[in-house]
Amino acid sequence: MQIIYILWLRQIKKYFRSKSRIIGSLGQPVLFLVAFGFGFGAIYKKAEGGNYIQFLAPGIIMMSVLFTAIFSGIELIWDKQFGFLKETMAAPVYRIQIMLGRTLGGATVATIQGIIVLLLTLLVGFKIDNLFLLPLGILFIFIVALLFTSLGTAIAAVLEDMQGFQMIMNFLVMPIFFLSGALFPLHGIPVFLEVIAKFDPLSYGIDGFRQALISQAHFGIGIDITVLSVVTLLILFAGSYLFERIEA
């Protein structure tokens, strides 16, 4: 258990030591909030959708969590190339403990990132309907962070270079985000898009998060947390298996 704590703490310390990383990672969420929130706000209101910032903010928060979590896999490739992973693997501990420590650390960093973006959304007019459900919203942030950190780790475990990882991540991340209902409601969309959204795990994270913050849900919070939990466990298992097979 000690190695899990050490690796978890290492990830968090690296995050807070890099102020440029924190500031840089906020650029995209702020851009999306301003450009989409105010750019399409009037159109959304005319379509009787209400305040678009209220709808958009949970999706942008989860976007930040998604990007931060899944790209944490780059650190695994970096550690492979520079030998830190080999030193860690030489420790007299189970490899699954190393994987869990790294994954929990990455998920915690992504959760912190999501909370920071949540605070930023309040500055542009987002309002939380029920503060008592905020802990439930943060739980959804953490589950999504854990899911996609595990996915990033699983993919990084079978790759050797950063260029390949970035290409695969870009191929996965953008469809996962844009087809999740982060930017548009899932009701009334073409059937094929709705089917795709149902197979997108981020859809359930955003849906549950919206329910917790602004009392709007498409699938239902019970379905959201069930699907997310099952998918997260499956990805964690796959990530653990692939990490065990790393030749370090």
- For 13-55, the pLDDT digits (tens) are 777 776 666 777 788 888 888 888 878 777 777 766 678 888 9
Gap between the Cα atoms of 192 and 194, Å rounded: 5
Gap between the Cα atoms of 210 and 216, Å rounded: 6
Mean pLDDT, the chain, whole residue set: 84
101: pLDDT strictly greater than 80: yes
Which domain covers residue 191, as residue numbers?
2-6+25-244
Q: Of the candidates 58, 22, 68, 64, which has an alpha carbon nearest to the alpha carbon of residue 37?
A: 58
CB 129 within 8 A of CB 214: yes
pLDDT at 32: 85
pLDDT at 200: 93
In a domain, 122, yes or no: yes
Q: Of the candidates 81, 80, 72, which has an alpha carbon nearest to the alpha carbon of residue 102?
A: 72
In a domain, 123, yes or no: yes
pLDDT at 87: 65
CB 153 within 8 A of CB 239: yes
161: pLDDT strictly greater than 80: no
Question: For residue 1, what pLDDT band results from cuts at 50, 70 and 90?
Answer: low
The total domain count for the chain is 1
In a domain, 212, yes or no: yes
Gap between the Cα atoms of 169 and 148, Å rounded: 11
The top-scoring range by mean pLDDT among 34-43, 66-75, 149-158, 226-235 is 226-235
Other Cβ atoms within 10 Å of 207 Cβ, number: 28
Q: Of the ranges 80-84, 94-98, 199-203, 213-217, which one carries the lowest mean pLDDT score?
A: 80-84
Give the rounded percent of residues in the chain with a pLDDT score beyond 70: 90
SS3 assignment, position 244: helix
Residues with Cβ within 8 Å of 76's Cβ and at least 6 positions away in sequence, in order, are 85, 102, 152, 153, 156, 157
Query: Whole-model pTM?
Result: 0.90
